[in-house]
Chains A and B, each alone.
Chain A
Amino acid sequence: MLEQIRESLADLFEIEPERIQLETRLYDDLEIDSIDAVDLLDRLKRKTGCKFAVEDFRTVRTVGDLVQVIEQKLVAA
């Protein structure tokens, strides 16, 4: 999952994959704001085939949080 997120972030935002670790903060370190989040989620939705809503990500702060939420959703599906 981390790999997929790295790939998406690289494509969408031109962020080098090595900058993306589990503890990396999306907003503070990568400058991904709420507008970017919509595009990022859109892309991850298509890649993983998993349906999730923006509300599921309200508490997400780091890349690790993101991985966790998506994995939970995939298990639940």
Chain B
Amino acid sequence: MGKREVYWWLVVRTGTCFAVFGLGALGLGLVVFPALLLFVRDEAARRRQIRAIVHHSFRLFVALMRGVGGFTYEVTGRERLGRPGQLIIANHPTLIDVVLIVALYPAGCVVKEALFRNPFMRRVVQSAGYISNASTAGMIEQATAALRAGDTLIMFPEGTRTRPGEPLQFHRGAASVAVQACTALTPVYVTTDPVFLPKNRPWYRVPARRPHLCVRIGDDIDLSEYRDLPPPRASRMLNARLQEHYSRFLSDGAGYNAALKTQASRATGTGGGREQQRRIVG
């Protein structure tokens, strides 16, 4: 196949996946969830079931995308996800990362307000009890209440997808919610190589080579030093720390990916590459 055919094949493939996702979401929102409304009276139980359905649908979708060769991925530390009152924070380099994380655990999520107006996604985010970021004060109120009620919640401190090539910018909302209400704060680091479905790039501009996604779930961040401070000071300090922590990790992560590539390109993989890899990860 020529370069042009490969490109069009990738576009058709990604487009089909998007169509499946949209129609799937529509089907869940219009048929499956209203049906649940009839059979499951208890609201909390129903929301748990809806989140479980979304979780399994996303698992299917991830399997589909991987199956058709849309991307490859690896996950480490998934056992650390899913504790009551746990706040999961992640950087947001791609449209797909939230799908991957929800495919790992049926958590609640703070999502952009536009999804509550999107005809395909509207009913899904509403039924699953996801939280809108429309107003900061309202979001903080709902997110802290959800965590205190024992929910596991995903937040993206960037507030939107990462702008490739620009320094990471964290908003204080996630840190504020964390210091006030979470039982554990768990960082998730997402990297994609090459850049895949980032901000400000239409989906049909697919990368030339198959993207590889890394989802690393890190150790909990110790919040004890922030607990006794007034929230505004605590959240400022935590936010600065998180932003610094992620910036450092992600620049190391890029080094890690480069090291992997060097290793793979060497036909006779010696210990040298692996040692380098270990050093960078540690």
Contacts and interface: CB of A to CB of B under 8 A. Distances in A.
B140 interface: yes
A37 interface: yes
Interface stretch (A9-17, A21-29, A62-70): A9-17
A38 interface: yes
Contacts of A34: 136-137
A58 to B, nearest CB: 11
Chain A: interface residue count, which band?
A: 10 to 19
Contacts, number: 31
B233 A13 contact: yes
B230 A12 contact: yes
Interface string B133-156: 000110011000000000000000
B228 to A, nearest CB: 13
Chain B: interface residue count, which band?
A: 10 to 19
B137 A39 contact: no
B230 A35 contact: no
B14 interface: no
Contacts of A36: 232
A35 B233 contact: no
Contact of B233 (A14, A33, A37): A14
A5 B231 CA distance: 16
A5 B235 CA distance: 20
A34 to B, nearest CB: 5
Nearest to A32: B232
A39 B136 contact: no
A35 B139 CA distance: 10
A34 B159 CA distance: 15
A8 to B, nearest CB: 9
Interface of A: 11-14, 33-40, 54
Which 7 A-B pairs give the minimum distances between C-beta atoms? A12-B230, A34-B136, A39-B231, A36-B232, A38-B137, A12-B232, A35-B176
Given A35-B232, A38-B137, 16 more contacts: A11-B230, A12-B232, A12-B233, A13-B232, A33-B172, A34-B136, A35-B136, A35-B137, A35-B140, A35-B172, A35-B173, A37-B137, A38-B140, A38-B141, A39-B231, A39-B232
